[in-house]
Amino acid sequence: MHLRVGHVAASAAPSFPNGCHGGAPTRAAAAAAATPCSRGAPPAAVRAAAASQAQSILLAATGEAPDVRQRLRLQATSRRWQRPAGWSAAPARSTDALRRTVVGAAATQGQSGVDAAVLQIADGLPIRECLAEVLTGLDRSSGMVLQAPPGAGKTTVVPLAMLRHNPEYLRGPNNKILVLEPRRVAAKGAARRMASSLREPVGGTVGYRVRLDTKVSTATRIEVVTEGILLRRLQHDPELAGVGAVVFDEFHERNLDADVALALCADVQRLARPDLRLVVMSATLGGGLGDRVQQLLEESTGLEAGEAAEEAGAGSAGGVPLVVSEGRCYPVTTKHLGRPDGTERGALERAVADAVTMALRDGGAAESGDNGVGGDVLVFVPGVGEIRNVERMLLEDGVDRKFGGVRLMQLHGNMAPDEQDEVLRPQAGSARGGRRRRVILSTPIAESSVTIDGVTAVVDSGLRRAPRYDASTAINRLETIRISEASAEQRRGRAGRTAPGRCYRLWSERDMLPAVSEPEILTADLAPTALELALWGSPDGGGLPWLDPPPADLMEAGRELLLDLGAVEAGSGRPTAHGRLLARLGVHPRWGHAVLRGAGQGCAELAAVVATMLGSERDVLRGGGGGPRSADIMLRLQALAEDDRALDYAAAKRIIQGARSMAAMATATVASEKRRAASATSTTSSSAGNATDDEDAAVAAALGEAGAEALESADASEEEGDASPSAAATAHRAPVPAAPSGRGTGAASSAAAFDTAWRQQLSREGLVGALVAAAYPDRIAARKDRANKRAAFTLSSGQVVRLPSEDDPLAAFEYVAVAEIGGVGPAAAWRRDGGGNDSIRSAAGLSGLAIKHYLSDMIQDREVVFWASGAKQVLGRRQKRLGCLVLSEQAAPVSDDKALPALLKGFKEMGGVRGVALSKEMEAWRQRVIWLRTQAQAKAPAAAAAGGAASGSGGSGGAAKGLAALPDLSDTGLLNSAATWLAPHLSGARSKSDMLKLPWGQIIKSLVPYELQQLVEAEAPTYLTLPTGTRALVDYSGDRPCVRCKLQEVFGLPDTPRLAGGRIPLTLELLSPGGQPAAVTSDLASFWRSSYIEVRKDLRGRYPKHVWPDDPLQAEATRMTKKGLERAKEREQAAAAAAAGTGGGRGGGGGSGGGGGSVSAGKGGAGTGGKAAAGGKKKK
């Protein structure tokens, strides 16, 4: 089905005086305008002055500079202007017509409303079939969701088509398109392909900004960036001035930065920029993701100030379209090879190498034919370590010789840009005529938005690396996990972009993959995100349009870390001056804190090297021997300082370059902050935006020409799913201010001075451990014992972690600062239970002397009161603490008010009221109250829905209303409210034994007022008096109250007894004479009519000495056998004869029953205090 979006007239846009911008009407609406703008928008200078004045007023009133969201509202208010007469909104379309357009490969080529020159961009690509729907949809809507398969051309074509279409939202000052890619290599590749299709060099109409590399100019209209670039820009320029559209590519990966950036962009669109277009694209948006993104974009157009959308010409009347392209370029054959055999080290790499050999062999055979299936092989493995091992195995297997000189190449995020370019650059010749076939070993970096010419086969391990954060221990684990179906399809599509291809999957068809990737925001360390949100003005993320809101526990853990680092204020969550400095550095707050601390202690250079090494996804030491590596950071720093032969020189170069940049930025940022603080009294009315500009200028001046580029080239993407806490960890990381040739001797001498400085600082004993401890104050661990061959350390959380090997140098230290703990390997990735370990992967040694020398200002004296689980009592301690590590402590007295929280924790640990041994009678009474309260709550909504009709039911309605006021005496209810009801009774208590001595029955019963206690006795009695006079205990612990009694004792009882004013029938568990269950019923009348017949047959055969009447309703209720009944009858006759002369006799029937917590059961039903008739017969 091909649904068209309506025709848009190609009329020229009217001119607007005074630089009117902030959105424009569609072309059809503009053509309809009869007169030019009679009163245009205020000039830019006027708007800026108004915003500045508003910010100054807020500063004077509150003493605080406005946060980002407040600035957005102020700027949006200052920009209000009256629309010209005759200017009508774009004609509204049916929302249903816009919501989903599905375009198949056989769709017609006619594309109404779009110039033919625009469509030529997509010639030969499936995306052409839906290009008109995309462009005309964006003319009418503020958002767009596009799904197109790999190879369709969406990344390259859609931004160019948007630009060439020349819509109103890209005219005037806001004329740039930002395209977000998840990885640097994808961003650069997309920019090159777009520039090539325009026959221009990169940096002209199309440019890019990535870490370490920026190519833009004043002529750039399409700027391809990584997600962290956008996050930095949003904090400095929340209105995204000059930007008309933001395109999120490959959104199915659900990177943390992508989710945060989409939420912030939608917030900007909602508050201040309704003209801003947001486009979300991916090869697959399954699992309902496409519909959810569509809903989010639609909701973001529901502005707080509704008139803003009309003023800006947002044109969102028709909703947000979701366009699905179903075309595909070339078919791909898939082979499932099964999982790798064994769990030993190297099993995955061996299976991958064998699959590569198979792919080369199959490709070689195909090349001998005419179908051209042969070509390069693209291999996906989880990380760089696997790449190296597979390469080694392939060389040992001789594949470079067996298949005509195959060339082995690597592709991952830590490669130099020119090395990545070589892999992506089109190869001259053909596989048959001069071009060597290639095997490209890649991490997930090549999964999306990358076209590698010549690839016709994909080998997919089905695995990827992902960080997992445990909020309870504040520990990250780098785990190897299965990819999603969406990612598997993406990888498979790499083989069919330029020719028919083959895909070899290292799992079986029976193995189930998750439909979509789990959003990183649900599992990652959210400390960097928490800092972003604090700067944005939403510390807890509330009020933002999230696709998946950040989990409360992860956000709380992130805020606690920021609080420990002094980055946010307690209570309000607003960023402190230190927090703003951390954000300026653009690294994870942990590492930024260490660098700023190092700058204050005269070792900024070493601190920057340590921080950059901690943030690297690649170990600076090459692997060797296959055994476990030392976790010692110091060994790596020494190898780096000595240019050791074991170094991975590419990783080492990258670390040093990044450290130079970070150190320079830290020094300049601190100097800028000091200058601002010195002049704060005279500049308190400066706006927050101006403050940011001052910081940029100061840092750029300190770094020189290279530093200016550094500020412009921050990047967030951690390419390999590395060991860093999250992909947002380097959300604003600046590129290296290197000293290239031709730049002069100043930069070179600065680099030499940096290298000399950090090497000298490295010799200061204990400094490295102190810097790591400053970054990880919550992960300082004390040595536990040496009983195990691998030394163990205890974290402040109580978790025990171990060194990776017996001879690790860290075993000699009293303390270690742990930066990283090992996670799940490839062998465990397919297991449902995960299978992580507690090996320390990265740490630095820390001695007591180093703590006193370098970290004395971090040592705090604290008094703590806690519940000691082992001793079962409250203890008080005066402690000296370093972060979360207790260095020393001594006993301290404990007052009642300080003991209360610990006692409540102990009460919970004891199991609440389950642990205090209530009497059976008290526990039964509590269960009656719980049941009645549940019934009252269930009845209340029904009564309300009936419009109060229940009020006519006499006393029953009043009782139910009173029962609704019963307190929650359930286990959970009592635990949750213990601070209220238990606290008054804990004075003087300090242990479990003290608490067990409390009069628990009285305490709990006192929670129910006397009037309600009487109501409990009436509505839920303790006993049921049976027709025989037996008092049977009513069990209220289940879903329905139940009575266990012998079947013969309810003979003659026509119906089930009822509770709660006759509303709820009792469940009767009817027993055999031997006490075994014979039947269970809550409808006794039905039981007598049906089931009793079969039960009677069974019991009559098993218990022939008992009476089993054909008509139980006419029989006597009894507890006796047949002989017992005969003897009772004889005694009765004798007694009757003896009393014949007196005229007396014994009246029949049932006993008094109910009073005092009992309900009677008789032939007439149930009642309190009534007689239980037995069909006119005397009971025996």
Confidence of residue 5 (pLDDT cuts 50, 70, 90): very low
Least Cα distance to 435 among 453, 412, 411 occurs for 453
Residue 227 has pLDDT above 50, yes or no: yes
Instruction: Write down the pLDDT at residue 1158.
Output: 66
pLDDT of res. 431: 46
- Selected residue with higher pLDDT from 694 and 94: 694
HEC letters along 937-995: HHHHHHHHHCCCHHHHCCHHHHHHHHHCCCCCCCHHHHHHCHHHHCHHHCCCCCEHHHH
Q: pLDDT tens-digit profile of 769-815? A: 999 999 998 889 998 866 567 788 988 777 888 898 888 999 999 99
How high is the pLDDT of residue 694? 47
Output 782 or 1169, whichever has higher pLDDT: 782
Longest dimension (CA), the chain: 138
Q: Is the dihedral of CA 916, 922, 927, 932 positive or negative?
A: negative
Nearest to 41 by CA among 78, 87, 73: 78
Q: Which of 1150, 1152, 1157 is nearest to 1174 (CA)?
A: 1150
Distances (CA, A) of 1057 to 579, 1152, 1168: 69, 16, 11
Distance between CA 170 and CA 163 in Å, rounded? Answer: 7
Nearest by Cα to 269 from 132, 169, 353: 169
Q: Which residue has the higher pLDDT, 960 or 1014?
A: 1014
Q: Which one-letter amino acid corresponds to residue 16?
A: F
Contact 213, 226 (CB under 8 A): no
Q: Give CATH 3.40.50.300 domain extents, the chain.
A: 116-303+319-324, 332-364+374-421+436-522
Q: State mean pLDDT over 723-742.
A: 34
Asked if residues 22 and 82 have their Cβ atoms less than 8 Å apart, the reply is no
User: 116-303+319-324: CATH homologous superfamily?
Assistant: P-loop containing nucleotide triphosphate hydrolases (3.40.50.300)
- Residue 420 tokens, joined: 């990545």
Distance (Å, whole) CA 1014 – CA 1012? 5
For residue 403, the model assigns a pLDDT of 83
- Predicted confidence (pLDDT) per residue in 377-422, tens digit: 999 999 888 998 999 999 999 988 888 788 999 988 777 777 888 8
Residue 409's beta-bridge partner residues? Answer: 440
**CB of 202 closer than 8 Å to CB of 191:** yes
- What local confidence, expressed as pLDDT, does residue 671 receive? 79
pLDDT exceeds 80 at position 958 = no
pLDDT at 92: 39
Give, in order, the Cα–Cα distances in Å from 484 to each of 111, 237, 464, 517: 35, 35, 10, 5
pLDDT tier, 707 (very low <50, low <70, confident <90, very high otherwise): very low
Q: Is the pLDDT of residue 88 over 80?
A: no
Q: How confident is the model at residue 292 (pLDDT cuts 50, 70, 90)?
A: very high
Judged against a pLDDT cut of 90, whether residue 521 lies above it is answered with yes
pLDDT at residue number 749: 60
Say which amino acid occupies 97. A
Strand 1023-1025 relative to strand 1031-1035, pairing: antiparallel
Name the average pLDDT for the chain: 78
- DSSP result, 605-653: HHHHHHHHHHH-SS-SBPP-TTSPPP-BHHHHHHHHHTT-TTB-HHHHH
CB 361 within 8 A of CB 459: no
pLDDT recorded at residue 545: 94
- pLDDT for 186 equals 87
Angle at alpha carbon of residue 228, lines to 699 and 222, rounded to 5°: 95
More confident residue, 139 or 402: 139
* Of residues 239 and 678, more confidently modeled: 239
Helices and strands per DSSP (H, E), number in the chain = 39, 34
Token pair for 166: 């020349």
- DSSP E strand stretches across 394-471: 407-411, 438-442, 455-460, 463-470
Residue type, 987: S
Residue 875 forms beta bridges with which residues? 866
Task: Say how far apart CA 495 and CA 488 lie, in whole Å.
Answer: 12
Residue 302: Cβ within 10 Å count: 11
Across the range 61-65, mean pLDDT stands at 53
Angstrom CA distances, 516 to 326, 379, 487, stand at 19, 21, 8
Q: Which of 790, 783, 794, 785 is nearest to 804 (CA)?
A: 790
At 601 the pLDDT is 86
pLDDT band of residue 306 (cuts 50, 70, 90) is very low
Higher pLDDT, residue 676 or 700 = 676
Output 799 or 889, whichever has higher pLDDT: 889
Please give the residue that has the higher pLDDT: either 616 or 881.
881
User: Which of 157, 106, 114, 155 shows the shortest CA–CA distance to 133?
Assistant: 114
Per residue in 1016-1031, pLDDT tens?
A: 988 889 899 999 889 9
3-state DSSP: the chain helix, strand, coil percent, rounded to 5? 45, 15, 40
The residue whose two tokens read 């008109």 is: 132
Q: Give the residue-averaged pLDDT of 349-365.
A: 88
Q: 1023 has which bridge partners?
A: 1033, 1158
Give me the mean pLDDT over the 1162-1179 stretch: 38
User: Rounded to an integer, what distance in angstroms lies between the CA atom of residue 918 and that of residue 904?
Assistant: 18
Question: Higher pLDDT residue, 106 or 600?
Answer: 600
961 — pLDDT class (breaks 50, 70, 90): low
Query: CATH number of the domain at 332-364+374-421+436-522, out of 1.10.10.10, 3.40.50.300, 3.40.50.11600, 1.10.390.10?
Result: 3.40.50.300
Report the candidate in 188, 261, 269, 215 with the shortest Cα–Cα distance to residue 732.
Answer: 261
What is the 3-class SS of 1028-1092, one letter each residue? CCCEEEEECCCCCCEEEEEHHHHCCCCCCCEECCCCEECEEEEECCCCCEEEEECCHHHHHHCHH
Dump pLDDT digits (tens) for 1072-1112.
999 999 999 999 999 999 999 999 999 999 999 999 999 99
DSSP string over 178-236: EEEESSHHHHHHHHHHHHHHTT--TTSSEEEEETTEEE--TT--EEEEEHHHHHHHHHH
- Give the model's confidence band at 63: pLDDT under 50 very low, under 70 low, under 90 confident, else very high: low
User: Helix 649-678 vs helix 745-762: angle between axes, to the nearest 10 degrees?
Assistant: 100
Task: Tell me what pLDDT residue 832 has.
Answer: 47
1079: closest CA among 1104, 1032, 1044, 1041?
Answer: 1044
Place of tokens 């059961």: 1161
pLDDT of 1006 > 90? The answer is yes
Q: Can you read off the two tokens belonging to residue 976?
A: 């949750």
CA distance 799 to 362: 51
pLDDT (average), residues 369-378: 63
Query: Which segment of 106-120, 253-267, 541-555 scores lowest on mean pLDDT?
Result: 106-120
Top-confidence residue, 411 or 317: 411
Cα distances from 237 to residues 71, 241, 242, 545, 568, in angstroms, run: 10, 7, 10, 19, 21
Task: Pick the closest to residue 647 from 657, 637, 659 (CA basis).
Answer: 637
Q: What is the DSSP secondary-structure string of 832-883?
A: TT-----BEEEEEEE-HHHHHHHSGGGEEEEEEEEEETTTTEEEEEEEEEET
pLDDT of residue 823 exceeding 70: no
Task: Note the pLDDT tens digit of each residue in 564-583.
Answer: 899 999 988 999 999 998 98
HSE-CB of 582 using CA atoms within 13 angstroms: 31
Residue 1137 has which token pair? 């004869």
With 90 as the cut, is the pLDDT of residue 310 above it?
no
Length of the chain: 1180
Model pTM score? 0.68
Comparing CA positions, the residue from 303, 320, 318 lying closest to residue 267 is 303
Q: Does the structure show a pLDDT above 50 at 716?
A: no
Buried b (16+ CB within 10 A) or exposed e, 408-425: bbbbbbbbeeeebeebbe
Average pLDDT over every residue of 237-241: 92
Lowest mean pLDDT among 40-49, 289-298, 661-670, 714-723: 714-723
Res 727: pLDDT: 34
pLDDT on residue 787: 57
- 127, 157 Cβ separation under 8 angstroms: yes
pLDDT of residue 830: 52
Please check the confidence at residue 739 and state whether its pLDDT lies above 60.
no
Rounded mean pLDDT of 872-893?
A: 90
Query: CA 792, 795, 796: angle at the middle one, nearest 5?
Result: 150
